[in-house]
Chains A and B, each alone.
Chain A
Amino acid sequence: QWKIDDKPVKIDKWDGSAVKNSLDDSAKKVLLEKYKYVENFRLIDGRLIICTISCLFAIVALIWDYLHPFPESKPVLAFCVVSYPLQMGLIYPKREKSIFLVAHRKDPAGMDPDDIWQLSSSLKRFDDMYTLKLTFISGKTKQQREAEFTVSIAKFFDNNGTLVMEAYEPEVSKLHDSLAQERKTK
């Protein structure tokens, strides 16, 4: 039985962002627990660090302006104000925006570099079609392969808003195996 924290996941089925978050979390669980991949936090930590730095910029601007009232603070303010959206642009380049998991599969023999699996997803507002995209990057050949599915969330949640893992887990595994398969036949 696949469950998060050993309790079935129950959310408000009308809350789009809770639905997406629970599907994302569960897909993560499948990759990390069933296939035993190791999560790589670099992408996520990178985003957290840049966001924190932007906040620091804002705080610096605030304090500087307080100590040296406008208009003397103009250059410092201008710098902070312009760099703020620039930093935001750094975190969210188009393709990477929806990636929520980067995991490594360590080569059992310990010789080849790790294979990388990336999960990204999208669920439009007020829409019920959830798209899950799995990207596989071979450690050896550096080749990249992707597979995705788009399914209505009604397929995975029951009337109470409980996520039915018996319906969801096979879909995720199918996605994974379709990419893993190709590797073996090459």
Chain B
Amino acid sequence: FGDLRRMNKRQLYYQVLNFAMIVSSALMIWKGLIVITGSESPIVVVLSGSMEPAFHRGDLLFLTNFHDDPIRAGEIVVFKVEGRDIPIVHRVIKIHEKENGNIKFLTKGDNNEVDDRGLYKEGQNWLEKKDVVGRARGFLPYVGMVTIIMNDYPKFKYALLAVMGAYVLLKRES
């Protein structure tokens, strides 16, 4: 703590500012990705084994959600069921398309026995464009396991964040 004690007001403020800058930069990068990809959640983690052998639990997916991209049967989309937070990564198996571009589609996990109607809202049998978070464009295997661990053991997440925060705040930057 010797470094900290020797600091004047300005330098102390700079330490706090440095911390805020790192948080802001991370935030800006994330929001930037959202703007560029058009998806509200451009990076998602595969949470279950319902898409094996294509995707495994813990894989990281990169999504885009361009408005004019058509959704075709056979493609893998990430969607959210109305009222639920968790994104689901499954394959489109059936589509009904109107001339004006409106679509209703049905999804199913490759590794599941049945289609997703059991996951949809009560009385809902089809998904629509508005439920789509994005379509998978690329992936990194295993990297998402860190997120899964942090969600399963929240204490670990808070401890990690606290240590990182303390390090940035206390280590003196030029």
Contacts and interface: CB of A to CB of B under 8 A. Distances in A.
A4, A10, A84: most-surrounded residue (chain B CB, <10 A): A84
A57 B35 CA distance: 16
A80 interface: yes
Interface in A53-110: 54-55, 57-59, 61-62, 65, 69-71, 74, 77-78, 80-81, 84, 98, 100
Do most interface residues of chain A lie in helix, strand or loop, or is the interface mixed? helix
A24 interface: yes
A2 to B, nearest CB: 14
B169 interface: no
A21 interface: yes
Interface stretch (A44-52, A126-134, A145-153, A171-179): A44-52
Contacts of A57: 24
A81 B26 CA distance: 11
A77 B23 CA distance: 16
Interface string B13-25: 1100100110111
Contacts of A44: 10
A47 B5 CA distance: 22
Interface residues of B, number: 25
Interface string A1-29: 00011000111000001101100110000
A62 B26 CA distance: 12
Contacts of B17: 48, 51-52, 55
Contacts of A69: 40
A172 to B, nearest CB: 18
Contacts, number: 70
A5, A21, A52, A74: most-surrounded residue (chain B CB, <10 A): A21
Nearest to B24: A58
A25 B28 contact: no
B6 interface: yes
Contacts of B32: 77, 81
B122 interface: no
B28 A80 contact: yes
A41 interface: yes
Contacts of A80: 28, 31
Interface of A: 4-5, 9-11, 17-18, 20-21, 24-25, 41, 44-45, 48, 51-52, 54-55, 57-59, 61-62, 65, 69-71, 74, 77-78, 80-81, 84, 98, 100
Interface of B: 2-3, 5-6, 10, 13-14, 17, 20-21, 23-25, 27-28, 31-32, 34-35, 38, 40, 171-174
